[in-house]
Structure 1
Amino acid sequence: MHSPQTYREAARAKGVPEHAIELALSLALPQAELTGTDEDGGILVGRYGGLPSLPEGVEWNSGLDFVASVDCAALPPDACNLPLPRDGHLLFFAARTDPDGLALMENSRSVIHVPAGAPTTERPVPDDQEYFPALDQHPLYARTFPSLPSSADDAVLLHPEISDLYFEHDLEYLDQRSRQWEVSLYLGGYAYSPQDPPIMGSSPEDEKGGWVLLAQAQLDMPDDPGFTACVFWIIQRDELAAGNFAAAGLVSISYH
């Protein structure tokens, strides 16, 4: 959503009662939307596509494509709901091939934190990489918006009283967020998925081990024209707090 007020106005116009509106807004989490334009006050925070710059001894997983680099120091402290590093760069890698179901790829080296000041060199695409070229490069500008869970998210499904109101008033469809294909990368917040959200929960106490959404992107699939890979980088909350990005997992869904 653009703001709680715009959500309230849209919900009231649909006749949604105030208690349902307030319930939905109580679930909202801050989420950073990173796009290629600085419209609406976007802050330059990184780069999409191109080739990654990595320290000596840090390898690029040759099964993955480089997606984006985010300058943690450039992100506003309240950009999202996660304890991200305050400096250095987060580099995100993902596959642009058809995934085998909704499988979690753990310890995939899909997220790398490069500490501030670390000497780096730009790496070419690995020799054994797929034939896909590097993603087209453009700058990334960040804006922070409240995000709401979908009706399939644990924040809704695990609570019958919330779920009933969500379905009765179509609360998730009143979220006037940007269209997914207009956003190069999401940080934090809730997952927006063409199918059920990836296997993770919405709180550190849930039965799914405290997995949270670190980032999300959509990628064209060169070997399957017309299909898109929706990729999610997820991590357990305690591993994120410890800065252990080697523990991040990668989940991918393809859709037409």
Structure 2
Amino acid sequence: MTPDLIRRLAPFREEALSRGIPSQDIERWIAMARRSGTLVTSGDGPVVGRFGGPLMLPADAPDPWFPLLATLDCAALPEEVTGLPLPADGHLLLFGFPEMTYYSASAGEVVYVPAGTPVEERETKYPCVYGEEGDAFDDDQMVRIYEQFPQDELRLSADVCLPYHFLIPSPEPGQEAAPLPDHPRAWELAEAWTDTCGDIIVDGPLHIGGYACHECTETDPVLDAAQEAAQHRRHRTAEPGEPVDAVELPAPEDWTLLAQWDIGLTGREGSTLHWVIARQDLAERRFDRAHVSFFWNP
């Protein structure tokens, strides 16, 4: 963490002190700060990708189920900005749709296309939106939502991020949540961050790395999404004829936020998509094992 990024947290420190939170608690909270990249559609930051645009895939890649949200240039997203060990080159394609899924299934996917891979433009009508060929699928609302997906260049701003959550899943049977360990003032600190982050971080629709949040953040959305992924794995292995993946998913605490889209589309106000991935899978470029969770507080 650079001194410049830590200095940007001064409004948070001042607000927390004004609430009577002991300085040692504040500094322990600040020690959890993470770098993150905010992607915006205006300004003078470097162009690192785009919302929408042509779908460029290798010829042998399957047609995606979910629509393309964004294509990102990994070479333009350095770890010193995002806090993530992304590939040094190539492109990340983020797919997803803001709709509830069944049995904790993923609401999207991530495709990594290494540099130098031959690609071609793919024309496809995404089954998530339009239904599969031959189906009597007719959902005008899905189409209206998809037609609002943004189409624009994405520019990078370096940001710093503190936790928005203050609870963890309880280790005790029968209890849903427990206080964040070693942080007795976590609720007050998270509230101070929520009240000041608008003056600290850049206002943008897409975030890379950092801490996840949504409108009702109490527990970490990354942990929640990782648990969803495990629940869906268990459901799939219980279904007759489904392939069984013998590899256990990493523990929820070993996952990280890859990307967050604060959606704001008409008909999906207050909703968020989180692309999360196990750190081991990120290191091994197993983006096919990422999970996408959808939160909506209508």
TM-score by length of 1: 0.80
Q: Is the 8 A contact 2:90 2:112 kept in 1?
A: yes
Count of aligned residue pairs for this structure pair: 243
Query: Structure 2 vs 1, CA of residues 55 and 21 (structure 1 numbering), >3 Å: closer, same or farther?
Result: same
Gaps of 5+ in 2: 131-142, 170-176, 225-249
Q: Is the 8 A contact 1:50 1:136 kept in 2?
A: no
Q: Which has the higher helix share?
A: 2
| Aligned twin of 1:253 | 295
| Aligned twin of 1:210 | 254
| Aligned twin of 1:184 | 205
Shift of 1:96: 3.0
Identity %: 27
Q: Which has the larger radius of gyration?
A: 2
2:263 to 219, 231, 234: 219
Shift of 1:44: 1.4
| Aligned twin of 1:89 | 91
Q: Distance in 1 between matches of 2:55 and 2:208?
A: 19
AA at the equivalent of 1:198 = P
Gaps of 5+ in 1: none
| Aligned twin of 2:283 | 241
Aligned pairs for 1:1-256 (under 5 A) are 3-39=8-44, 42-62=45-65, 64-97=66-99, 99-100=100-101, 103-105=104-106, 110-126=109-125, 128=127, 129-130=129-130, 131=143, 132-133=146-147, 135-152=149-166, 154=168, 159-162=180-183, 164-169=184-189, 170-177=191-198, 182-196=203-217, 197-200=220-223, 207-208=251-252, 210-220=254-264, 225=267, 227-256=269-298
Moved over 6 A (4+): 178-181
Q: Distance in 2 between matches of 1:33 and 1:17?
A: 30
AA at the equivalent of 2:221 = P
AA at the equivalent of 2:273 = V
Q: Distance in 1 between matches of 2:263 and 2:202?
A: 9
Q: Distance in 2 between matches of 1:61 and 1:52?
A: 10
Q: Distance in 2 between matches of 1:189 and 1:208?
A: 16
AA at the equivalent of 1:149 = P
Q: Distance in 1 between matches of 2:59 and 2:274?
A: 27
Shift of 1:101: 7.5
Measured on the aligned residues, the alpha-carbon RMSD in Å equals 3.2
Q: Which has the higher strand share?
A: 1
